[in-house]
Amino acid sequence: MRKRSQKQFLIFFVILAALMQATFLYRFRVAGVKPDILLTIVIFSTFYFEGSFCLKTALFAGFIGDVLSGGIFGLNILTFGLCGFVLPLYGQRVYRENIPIQLFICFSSVLAVYSLYYLASRVFLPLAGFIEALKMVILPTALYSTFIFGPLCIFLKKSLGFLAYENRSY
């Protein structure tokens, strides 16, 4: 698959994932927490695409997340955009087949993005303490999103043609 069609497919999948996340993903909640598929797609893109495309994908995913979430408009754009700006600096240096490191980067990124989102939300809304939010929402969401990241990576790598056996020329 050519680079341009890979990018178009990823953007299409961001839109599809946003619709899934806004409509029926609530049925897959565990202890009231659901994974953030949009953020995991942004994290995936940092391992396989150049930085400028990752930033554009992150800003687009953040915009869609803001439109569909009904929360404070602009916070998803800000947090996803920071993720799409910072992660490509490290994501391109990670060996693509090193799954434990990718899972660690996914976990720490979701943890950082949700923590930043919560702290920025506290400026505008009266919310509970950070430690309670960390225990009840942020940490479980990071774990659940990391759990989803593995199968999502396999699906996207297969769909985009990044698996090693598909890239061989005979």
How do the pLDDT tens digits run along the chain, 170 residues long?
A: 677 788 899 999 999 999 998 888 878 888 888 899 999 999 999 988 888 999 999 999 999 999 988 788 999 999 999 999 999 987 777 777 788 989 999 999 999 999 999 988 888 888 778 888 888 889 999 999 999 999 999 999 998 887 644 444 43
What is the dihedral angle through the alpha carbons of 24, 44, 152, 39, rounded to the nearest 10 degrees?
Answer: -20
DSSP string for 39-108: HHHHHHHHHHS-HHHHHHHHHHHHHHHHHHH-SSTTHHHHHHHHHHHHHHHHHTTS-TT-HHHHHHHHHH
- Residue 33 to residue 52: CA distance in whole angstroms: 31
pLDDT at 139: 93
pTM as predicted: 0.88
- CB of 89 closer than 8 Å to CB of 51: yes
pLDDT at 1: 60
Adjacent-strand bridge partners of 67: none
Identify the CATH number of the domain defined by range 3-161: 1.10.1760
Domain positions in the chain? 3-161
pLDDT at 163: 63
